[in-house]
Chains A and B, each alone.
Chain A
Amino acid sequence: MTHSVNIATDPLSSGEGRGEVFITGYSIISNGGVEKDGHLVWKEPSAQHTDNFLVSAYRQMGLSYPKFFKMDNLSKLGLLASENLLSGTDLKGKYKPDEISVVFANASSSLDADQKYFDTIKDIASPALFVYTLPNIVIGEICIKNGFKGENAFFVFDKFEAKFLHQYVQTLMQQNTNKACIFGWLELIGDSYEAALFLLEKEAADKTNPFTLENIYKLYS
């Protein structure tokens, strides 16, 4: 499908669009489990390697997106966590493509893909692997899957720096062209992985969870 590319800025609007931001959903994938809004969606029956876990979760979630299989593990994890987050929502119906942002952080950037790419270059360097040696590629994959054209950022910290990230995203959301944001922690290296993504919106039917640092910790600690 094609997306409107009319930009959302209105030179005449001043304070319009500013206002409170709400957490309207969250998605956590860790320790072999997939959770949505605090409810377990699926848990692997026995521990398996990351490669297998990601493919099992894809099948269990009933997804049909063949591009998934050419992705590196960080992108697979991000795609699964975002699909889980966005299931049952209609962001594209509510917002223009450039009003939807994606902001992630992690500790290992793309080191998982880096090692895999590096192991191949003595034989033949593969562009299909090389492209994943950047952490923001997963943001690109999620934007392609969903048609999101807003702001992107990928930060690297040794742990989930909720205070900084909350403040940063809060600032971002105060600009009137940003109305929704997929925000969170997306870490993966070897057999260790952890995704905690939040859907943030200005237009929320359920205003239970304002986007506060306290609520981030309440939902994900």
Chain B
Amino acid sequence: MPKVFVVADNIFSPLGSTTAENFSELLKGNSGVRRHSRTEIFSEPFFAAIFSEEKNKELNAGIQNANAYTKFERLLIQSIKNALSLCEVDIQSASTAIIISTTKGNISLLENETVTEAMKAQLPLHYSAKVIANYFHNPNLPITISNACISGISALITAKRLIETDQFENVVVAGADVISSFIFSGFNSFQAISKQVCKPFDAERSGINLGEAAATIILSKHNKNAYATLDGGSVSNDANHISGPSRTGEELAIAIKKAMHEAGTKSDAIDFISGHGTATLYNDEMEAKAINIAGLQDVPVNSLKPYFGHTLGAAGILESVVALTTMKQNTIIPTQGFENIGVPVPVNVPNTITTKNINKILKIAAGFGGCNAALVLSKN
């Protein structure tokens, strides 16, 4: 199998518009999660990592006829544009594919007082994927993946396979979601939303914060400017419950073991784990159990949800970008707010910045529908 190289990335979030800006905020301990009073999203004040009005305006920068694009689409455009500027991949080439990862795309259009036929035509996820492909003059069929909270990792695994089987030389993988009353009301109805900045893996965790962002990773079969390789990826299903995770973690552990197997690596070679860590009672418990089954309980793990919130379709990509930067800089971002372990089996959750030599990382996630996913990446 040919190697799959990581050649560029971007995070466009409330914390910053580039990976470097975002990582620098993380190093300073700054979080994008704030208390907001935005009645168009929720009737009461809430904690989330959403764009300010000022930052929303930045979404238009450099986009001709910006109003022709929805916020979701502009987020994707900004993130992809920045990632492209950092590498030599030609997005207009027939050998470059685009994969879009999202859970809800343009769903907030439903919240308009009058939903016109034109708006309805913009609702399907494949519509937005075509908009993005057209914006960048990419000639190929754009691929959309909607696999709940593992969408971003699913998209990266799909991209890896497209390159390995010589269907494409480069794949631009971009994910985004926008927080609106549709999504907020749903998570709130599950009583899953924390009334403060979330505390993954902590004894006092009380649910998630939602977040909006876009993130991009560009994969290539060419080594030029590559700083990492994507070595393995796998997805599994709990076959247990559509809205609650496995009680044992065995199925996420299956995905982890298969991803490590594909990467030709063993648990003792993993230097760092980028966790899903939603700070819900059951997710963190399941994840900790899976980490133990896979023999990774001593490996440092973090959750970025206290900084970015749960960014849904962007999450798998965004958190992989931070993990890649962690590997590049040999610097682990602490899980903000983590004080006392609150899961029934041991996991190693640093709460201060940790430096160590990092050559191989594991990214994991889980989502509604009982899906689990794992990726293994190495320093190039």
**CB of B354 within 8 Å of the partner chain:** no
**Mask for B221-241, Cβ within 8 A of A = 1, else 0?**
000000000000011111111
Q: How many residues of B contact A (CB 8 A)?
A: 58
Q: Is the CB of B242 within 8 A of A140?
A: yes
| Interfacial chain B residues near A31, Cβ < 8 Å | none
Q: Name A175-197 residues within 8 Å CB distance of B.
A: 175, 177
The CA-CA distance from A47 to B215 in the complex, in Å, is 46
**CB of A41 within 8 Å of the partner chain:** no
**CB of B158 within 8 Å of the partner chain:** yes
Most buried by A among B187, B248, B254, B262: B254
The CA-CA distance from A36 to B199 in the complex, in Å, is 50
Instruction: Pick from B16-24, B52-60, B137-145, B281-289 the stretch touching chain A.
Output: B137-145
The CA-CA distance from A43 to B239 in the complex, in Å, is 31
**CB of A134 within 8 Å of the partner chain:** yes
The CA-CA distance from A134 to B177 in the complex, in Å, is 13
Nearest CB in chain A: distance from B118 CB, A = 16
Most buried by A among B181, B187, B250: B250
Q: Is the CB of A125 within 8 A of B158?
A: no
Q: Is the CB of A5 within 8 A of B254?
A: yes
Q: Is the CB of A153 within 8 A of B158?
A: yes
**CB of A111 within 8 Å of the partner chain:** yes
Partner of B236, one of A11, A126, A151: A151
| Interfacial chain B residues near A152, Cβ < 8 Å | 147, 154, 235-237, 369, 371
Instruction: Pick from A22-30, A49-57, A79-87, A114-122 the stretch touching chain B.
Output: A114-122
| Interfacial chain B residues near A171, Cβ < 8 Å | 161, 164-165
Q: In the complex, which residue of chain A has the Cβ closest to the Cβ of B248?
A: A5
| Interfacial chain A residues near B261, Cβ < 8 Å | 9, 11
| Interfacial chain A residues near B237, Cβ < 8 Å | 102, 139-140, 143, 148-150, 152
The CA-CA distance from A206 to B238 in the complex, in Å, is 31
Q: Is the CB of A149 within 8 A of B186?
A: no
The CA-CA distance from A115 to B123 in the complex, in Å, is 11
The CA-CA distance from A133 to B319 in the complex, in Å, is 24
| Interfacial chain A residues near B371, Cβ < 8 Å | 136, 139-140, 152
Q: Is the CB of A154 within 8 A of B145?
A: yes
**CB of B126 within 8 Å of the partner chain:** yes
Instruction: Pick from A58-66, A160-168, A207-215 the stretch touching chain B.
Output: A160-168
Can you show 20 pairs from A to B with CB atoms below 8 A apart? A11-B261, A107-B126, A109-B124, A110-B146, A117-B182, A117-B186, A136-B368, A139-B369, A147-B239, A148-B237, A149-B238, A149-B239, A151-B235, A152-B237, A152-B371, A156-B125, A157-B126, A158-B126, A161-B141, A171-B161
Q: A5-B251, A131-B242, A134-B103 are in contact. List 6 more A-B contacts (CB 8 A).
A: A118-B110, A125-B188, A127-B186, A136-B148, A136-B368, A168-B158
Query: Which residues on B are within 8 Å of A, measured CB to CB?
Result: 103-105, 107, 110-111, 123-127, 129-130, 141, 143-148, 154, 158, 161, 164-165, 167, 181-182, 185-190, 234-243, 248, 250-251, 253-254, 257-258, 261-262, 367-371
Query: Which residues on A are within 8 Å of B, measured CB to CB?
Result: 3, 5, 7, 9, 11, 97-98, 102, 107-111, 114-115, 117-118, 121, 124-127, 130-131, 133-137, 139-141, 143-144, 146-158, 161, 164, 167-168, 171-172, 175, 177
**10 closest residue pairs by CB, A with B:** A140-B369, A130-B186, A125-B189, A125-B185, A156-B144, A143-B237, A5-B250, A143-B239, A127-B189, A156-B125
